[in-house]
Amino acid sequence: MKNFSVTLWMGVIFASSPLVFSQHDAGWCGTDHKMKEYIADNPQLAIDFEQLNQWIEDNSEFIMSTSESGEYYIPMVVHVIHNYGTENISDAQIVDAIRILNEDFNKQNADTSSIVPTFKPIAGNSKFVFRLATKDPSGNCTNGITRTPSLLTYDANDDSKLISWPRSKYFNMWVVSNIYTESTTSVTAGYATLPGFSSDGTDGIILDDNYVGSIGTSNGSNFNKRVLTHETGHFFNLMHPWGYTEIGTSCTGSDFVSDTPPTKGAFSTCPLTKDECGQLENVQNFMDYASCTNMFTNGQVTRMTTAINSSSGQRSSLWKSANLTATGTSDPYNYPANCAPIADFKTNRYSVCAGTSFTLTDQSYNATPTSWNWTITNGTQTFTETVQNPTITINDPGTYDVTLTVSAPGGNDSETRNGFIYVYPATADFSSYLYEDAFDNGPISNGRWSNQYDWSTTVGWEETTLASTSAPNALRVNNYGSQKGISYSILSPSYDFSAIEGTPTLSFKYAFARRSNDNEDRLRVYVSNNCGQSWNVRWSALGSDLATTTNKTSNWAPTSTSEWKTITLNNLSAWGSSNNVRFRFEFNSDGGNNLYLDDINIVGPNIGIDEIANTALALTLYPNPTQSELTLIFDAPASGSYYVSLADMTGRTILTTQEMHTSAGQVSQKIILPTGISNGMYFMTLFMGGHSVTTKVMVQP
C-alpha cells in the first residue's frame, strides 16, 4: 500500500517519540529494529533511503520495460556460525532452503493454487534465481557454504558475521543458533539489511537455524521455511505491508507499493477474509507474518527489480555476466563443484578419565570425504583410525593432539588440534586442601592446571605478574583486543573431597573491567566429578555484574585491592563425598577488558585460608620469622619422596632441595636459606606424593 509520502515516513523515523513495535513484530523479523539501530548510529542512512525510494519511483517503469524477459542470477554464499551443535546445519538443509527460495521468487511454489481469487491476478514472478557459488573470492573451488566456530552463534547480531565475502559479488547469508538485537530482547528469527543500510562485511541476511528450509532443525512449517523468502524480500528493498506502524493496530502504514492493500498485518494465523482496513487484506503476502504466506505482488516485484538495478548496496553488481563467471554461477551451472574437503571435527568429550572412551566426529565440509585418517598422540603413544567417527579408549593419562586428514575426488585436507583431548588419572591428583596463594607454584607451566582452547584461537589463560592480590603471580585472560565470541577455559587438578571433613568450600578472587557498557563478557565456574565428561555450573556473572571496577578503555591491570572481588561458593555439598573433583573456570569474551584470577582455595567447614598450611599434612615452620635457617615439620601420610622449594615475591625460585625419601609419620627437615638472602616475604612449598602445600616465610635481620 502506498498511501503517504516518503518524507512523512522520514518524519516518523525522526519523531521525538521512539518507534513502537509489537511483541509479535519483535519475535520474528528483526529488520525494522536493525534499521532503527542503523539510523540512530548514522542519520545519513535515512536521507539515503529517501533518495533510493525516489530513484525507484523515477526509474521503475523504464527498468521493468527492459527486463521483462530476463532472469537475474544471484550468486549466494551461506556462512554457518556454530559451536558444533545442532546449529551447524547440514548442506542438505541449506540446499533445501535455496530450493524453496527459488520456487517462491519465481512463482513456482505449489501453494500458489491456494491464493485467494482477488489476488491471483497480481501474484508476481521476480525471475530472481539464487545459486550457491562454486568459486570463492580467490577463485578457489567452493560449495558456497562456509563454517566458522564461535560462541557468538548464541547471541548473534552483526558482530557474529565473522566471515563475509564481497557484497558486490555475493549475496551473503549467515546461519546462527540465536539472534539478538539491541532494540528487543525477544527471540528473532532473522533480519536483513536493506540496500545502503549496511557496509560491506555485514550486508546480507542472518537467520536462526530453525528458520532455514523445511528439513533438519526446521520444523518444516510454512511459517518457518519462508523466513528466508521474507528476509530476502527485505534485502531487495521490500517493507512490511503495514509499514512502520505497530503490527495489528493501524491501517495507515506504507510499504511504498501501489498494489498491496492497506493492512494491519496478521501473525501466525491465516485470516483469508480479513478486511479491517476497508478492503480484503493480502495476508498471504510473503512480507506479512501470516502462517499461509505464498506470494509477492507485481508491485513488489517491480520494487525488487528496480532495487537490483540500483547501485545502492552494490545490488546491481551481483547479476552481471562477469561476476557470474567469477563466482561460478553462470550457465551451465553445475552444483556442487568437484572441490577438496576442508577438514573439521568435534568430540563428545574433551576430557576423560583414563580408561574411558570418547568419540571423534568428522565435521568436514566443502565436499563429502571418501576417506578418513585420524592420528591421536601425546608424543609417546600414538593411535590411528581410518573410520569416519572413531570411538577411542586411552588408558594412559596425558594431553593428546588430534589430526584428521580427509580425502575426496577433488583433493584432501588436514587439521591438527594440539591438546585436544585431556586424559586424566582415574584417581585424584590431590587429597589435601587446595591452596593457590597467588599461584606461586606456576600452575600452568608445571602442568597442574591446563588450558582447554577454543579452536578458533590458540591463546588461553596465562600466568602474569602484572596483577595479584598477594604475590607474585596471578592468572589472566588477555582479553584486551580479543575477538568477541572466543571462549577461554582452564581446568584445575583433581581433588579427593572424601578426604576433607565436612562439605568443602571453594573461594577465589578475580578482577575484571569492561571497556563499554555494551560488553557482556561472562565468567563461569563449573565442577565435575567424572574427569570432565560432564560439568555443572556453580557460579556465573555477566556484564556489569562481572565488572569489579569502572570501564577501562586502555589495556588494563588492577592496581589496588579495591578492584578485586572475592567469591565464596558453599554449594558443593553434592560433591562432598566424591573422590575425583575438578573445577573449570570459563571466560567468554564480548569485547571487554582483561580478566585476572587469583587466590583459589578449597577448604573444609570452619577452616580459614590461613589455616590451610597447618591443616594439610600438619605442616609447621619454625622459627618464622627467621634469619638464616628454619625447620620444617610435617606428617607424611605414607612412605614416599618429597622435596621443598622457596620462591621470592616475583615468583623466582631461589632454593630447591634434593628429593628425599621418608616413611609414614612425622618428618623433620632442616632448611638452610641461601647466603645473602634479602629481608622480606618468601613462599615455601612442600611437594609430596602429588600433593603440595605452600606457606609464607618471613626473613628478618
Q: Quick check: is 273 in a domain?
A: no
Please list the alpha-helical segments (H only) found in 170-273: 222-225, 227-235
Q: 351-353 and 565-569: which strand pairing?
A: unpaired
Residue 36: enclosing H or E segment and its boundaries? helix 31-41
The answer to whether residues 399 and 438 belong to one domain is: no
Tell me how many domains the chain contains: 4
Q: Residue 219 and residue 593: Cα distance in Å, rounded?
A: 40
- Cα separation, 291 vs 259, in Å, equals 21
In the chain, which stretches have pLDDT less than 50? Answer: 3-26, 183-185, 437-438, 606-616
| Among candidate residues 404, 424, 444, the one where a domain is terminated | 424
Say how many residues make up the chain.
701
**Last residue in a domain, options 424, 455, 490:** 424
Q: What is the pLDDT of residue 434?
A: 59
Helix (H, G, I), strand (E, B) or coil at 403: strand
d(CA 303, CA 287) in angstroms, rounded, equals 13
**DSSP reduced 3-state for 555:** coil
What type of residue is 518? D
Let me know if residue 396 belongs to a domain. yes
Q: Are residues 137 and 183 in the same domain?
A: yes
SS3 558: coil
Residue 7 lies in a domain: no
Name the catalytic one among 37, 103, 231, 276. 231
What DSSP line would sit under 271-338, residue for residue?
A: -TT--TTSS---TTBTTSB-TT--B-BHHHHHHHHHHHTS-GGGGGGTTSHHHHHHHT-SSS--SS--
User: Residue 423, exposed/middle/buried by CB under 10 A (0-12, 13-18, 19+)?
Assistant: buried
Are residues 381 and 449 located together in one domain of the fold? no
The residue out of 573, 608, 643 marking a domain boundary is 608
Which residues 6+ apart lie within 8 Å of 61 measured at CB? none
Query: Is residue 488 located within the same domain as residue 577?
Result: yes
In a domain? residue 455: yes
- What is the β-pairing status of strands 653-656 and 640-647? antiparallel
Residue carrying C-alpha cell 571418501: 370
What is the Cα–Cα distance from 322 to 199, expressed in whole angstroms? 23
Residue 520 falls in the annotated catalytic set: no
pLDDT at residue 87 in the model: 97
Residues 485 and 358 in one domain: no
Residue 264 maps to a domain: no
* Complete DSSP assignment for 515-535: SSTT---EEEEEEESSTTSS-
Q: Are residues 596 and 461 in the same domain?
A: yes
Q: Kindly state whether residues 177 and 229 are assigned to the same domain.
A: yes
Say yes or no: 25 and 107 in one domain.
yes
CATH number of the CATH domain containing 629? 2.60.40.2550
User: Residue 659 corresponds to which cell in the numbers above?
Assistant: 628429593
Can you list the pairs that 276-283 forms with residues at least 24 positions away whose Cβ atoms lie under 8 Å? 276/251, 277/251, 278/251, 280/116, 280/118, 282/119, 282/241
174 touches 205 (CB < 8 A) = yes
- Is residue 419 located within the same domain as residue 527? no
Asked if residue 6 belongs to a domain, the reply is no
Domain match, 625 and 598 both: no
Residues 546 and 512: their CA atoms lie apart, in Å, by: 7
Q: Decide: helix, strand or coil at residue 462.
A: strand
Q: Given the DSSP bridges, would you call strands 398-408 and 371-377 parallel, antiparallel or unpaired?
A: antiparallel
The CATH number that applies at residue 406 is 2.60.40.10
Cα 122 from Cα 300, distance rounded (Å): 10
53, amino acid identity: N
What is the spatial distance between Cα 288 and Cα 294, in angstroms, rounded to a whole number? 10
pLDDT of residue 629: 87
* HSE-up (13 A, CA, CB side) for residue 255: 34
Indicate if 45 and 128 belong to the same structural domain.
yes
CA distance 181 to 195: 19
- CATH no. for residue 477? 2.60.120.200
Instruction: Answer yes or no: do 100 and 218 share one domain.
Output: yes
Q: What is the extent of the structural domain holding 536?
A: 434-608
Is 683 part of a structural domain of the chain?
A: yes
Asked whether residue 29 is domain-assigned, the answer is: yes
Amino acid identity at 305:
T
Give the DSSP H/E element, type plus range, for residue 29: none
CATH number of the structural domain spanning residue 211: 3.40.390.10
